[in-house]
Amino acid sequence: MTLAPETTTLRIQLRPATPTTSAVSSSAVDDDWFAVCDLSMLIPGRGVAALLPDGRQAALFLDRAGRMYAIDNRDPFSGAAVLSRGLTGTHQGRPFVASPLLKQRFDLESGRCLDDDSVTVTTYEVRAR
């Protein structure tokens, strides 16, 4: 590790947003967070993809105000893992990303597709520490 300013050493961590029924891990336990990368890797308004231990992929975003979001990286309409490469924006005060393939938009907080009510993608909680 090189010597870097302190802020860049902040690590981004993820965990599934919905507490699951799994007995071994509960949301109260701190160690179900998965560290992904340094905060400095994110550009406001763009996403990156992260590979999770179970083989899933998460798309991680930073907005202009410094808030972070993470949803599943797979675009449910095409099956391709590309949501991290979409353009983000604000719709009626809520953050979204538009798929780069066929442009459907997904709410970054709820995972709900804004253009098709029946579709939702998984969301993750994000924190930096």
Partner 1 sequence: MSTTAPVGTGPRPTIVLVGHGMVGQRFLEALAERGLTATHRVVVLCEEPRPAYDRVQLTSYFAGRTPEELSVTDMEFIAEHGIELHIGDPAETVDRAARTVTARSGLTVGYDTLVLATGSFPFVPPVPGKDAEGCFVYRTIEDLLAIEEYAKARATTGAVVGGGLLGLEAAGALKGLGLTTHIVEFAPRLMPVQVDEGGGAALLRTIENMGLTVHTGTGTQEVVTGDDGAVTGMKLSDGSTVATDLVVFSAGVRPRDQLARDCGLTVGERGGISVDDQCRTVSDPQVFAIGECALASDGRVYGLVAPGYEMAETAAATIATVAATETDGVDGAAFTGADLSTKLKLLGVDVASFGDAHGAADDCLDVVYSDSRSGTYKKLVIGRNGELLGGILVGDADAYGTLRAFTGSVPPIAPEQLVLPAGAGAPVQLGPSSLPDEAIICSCHNVTKGAIRGAVTDHACTTVPEVKKCTKAGTGCGSCVKVLGQLVTSELEASGVEVDKGLCGCFPQTREELYEIVLALRIASYQQLLDRYGRDSARGGDGCEVCKPTVGSIIASLAPTIGAEGYVLDGEQAALQDTNDHFLANLQRNGSYSIVPRIPGGEITPEKLIVIGEVARDFGLYTKITGGQRIDMFGARVEQLPLIWARLVDAGFESGHAYGKSLRTVKSCVGQTWCRYGVQDSVRMAIDLELRYRGLRSPHKLKSAVSGCARECAEAQSKDFGIIATANGWNLYVGGNGGATPRHADLLAQDLSDAELIRLIDRFLMFYIRTADRLERTSTWLERIPGGLDHIRDVVVEDSLGICEELESLMTAHVAAYRDEWAETINDPEKLSRFVSFVNAPDTPDPVVGFVPERDQIKPDLPLLTIGTRPLEGSAQR
Q: Does 71 bind partner 1 (CB under 8 A)?
A: no
| Whole-Å CA distances, 127 to 2, 5, 36, 68, 80 | 23, 19, 10, 7, 26
Q: Does 36 bind partner 1 (CB under 8 A)?
A: yes
Shortest Å, Cβ 103 to partner 1: 7
| Whole-Å CA distances, 60 to 26, 66, 79 | 22, 12, 18
Q: Does 41 bind partner 1 (CB under 8 A)?
A: yes
Alpha carbons 25 and 9: distance in angstroms, whole number: 27
Shortest Å, Cβ 6 to partner 1: 20
Q: Does 100 bind partner 1 (CB under 8 A)?
A: yes
Question: Residues interacting with partner 1, by CB under 8 A?
Answer: 14-16, 20, 22, 25, 31-32, 34-37, 41, 43-46, 48-57, 60, 63-64, 72, 74, 76, 78-82, 85-93, 95, 98, 100-101, 103, 105, 122
